[in-house]
Structure 1
Amino acid sequence: MEQNITQILIIDDDEINNFIAAKLIGKVQEHTVVNTCLNGLEGINYIKAKLNDEANFPDIIFLDINMPVMNGWEFLALYDQLDSPLKKKASIYMLSSSVYNEDIEKASVYPVVNKFISKPLTVEKIKDLFSELKINP
């Protein structure tokens, strides 16, 4: 039986956080490919490059809010404008150290955002997320 590979994209300017998150995801679910982008512009360019590549289009996007060049909100605005049915494939999670209620409320306004997750990403949070998405380890 062929194992589905879960494609994950982390868009966060903290390289150490990205490294740790990728390792934790690998511990929970070995059949994953984790790609990282260091800001929203890199992220939107990555997404645009995968619009005709369903197998490698992200299933899950972890999106930080506060980043240089392009922040998470600016990324979401551009993502929202993309004209592709593949957008429905991705589950977007705001992953932020922000504890501002405004950010949490703002995230809930975007229909493409599934949930707001407070940093740090933990094995428990990843397991819960995969369980919600019915991704079996």
Structure 2
Amino acid sequence: MMNQALHILIIDDDEINNFIAAKLIDKIPPRAKVSTCLNGQEGIDYIISGLNNQEELPDIIFLDINMPVMNGWEFLEEYAKIAHQLSKKIVINMLSSSVYNDDISKSKTFSTVNKFISKPLTVEKIKSLYDSLGIN
């Protein structure tokens, strides 16, 4: 999937979940750089700031749905406006404690969303995602 180190961006307003997710990701090869943003606006700003140096953009995003300032759905709408500027494919995965079928169905309406992953994130869920992306 990539030539350099894996870069993962977690966009979630729960700092404890972000810390735990980063520790779980760290347990699984390959080594990954993990960055975090606390809401969708920070996430969009992060992506926009990397447009001039796209190798620095994340390979994978874990995106929460319910966040202050800008939620996950709003992030996806803003992301769609800049996606054409990206030369790198970023794999976006919804990461939510929501088990509402409406949220799962809605996530499938966004072509940029790869998977809907229910919280909590686990080593097994990360490995399954890596396997599906051919990362090892």
Normalised by the length of structure 1, the TM-score is 0.93
1:92 aligns with 92
Q: CA RMSD in A?
A: 1.1
Q: Does 1:27 align with 2:37?
A: no
Cα deviation digits, residues 9-50 of structure 1 (max 9, x gap): 000000000000000001012521000000000000000011
2:49 aligns with 49
How far apart in 1 are the matches of 2:18 and 2:46? 16
Where do 5+ consecutive residues of structure 2 fail to align?
none
Asked whether the 8 Å contact 1:12–1:67 carries over to 2, the reply is yes
Range that drifts further, 27-36 or 104-113: 27-36
* Matched length: 133
Task: Describe the SS at the equivalent of 2:107.
Answer: helix
| Superposition deviation, residue 54 in structure 1 | 2.1
Task: Describe the SS at the equivalent of 2:121.
Answer: coil
Where do 5+ consecutive residues of structure 1 fail to align?
none
Cα deviation digits, residues 70-127 of structure 1 (max 9, x gap): 00000000000003133x5100000000011100000000000001000000000000
Asked whether the 8 Å contact 1:37–1:43 carries over to 2, the reply is yes
1:37 aligns with 37
How far apart in 1 are the matches of 2:32 and 2:71? 25
Asked whether the 8 Å contact 1:58–1:89 carries over to 2, the reply is no
Cα deviation digits, residues 40-69 of structure 1 (max 9, x gap): 000000000111212211100000000000
| Superposition deviation, residue 4 in structure 1 | 2.3
Asked whether the 8 Å contact 2:6–2:30 carries over to 1, the reply is no
Matched AA of 1:125 = K
Task: Describe the SS at the equivalent of 1:116.
Answer: strand
2:15 aligns with 15
Matched AA of 1:94 = M
How far apart in 2 are the matches of 1:40 and 1:85? 18
Deviant stretches of 4+, over 6 Å: none
Give the 5 Å matches for 1:72-83.
72-82=72-82, 83=84
How far apart in 2 are the matches of 1:128 and 1:69? 31
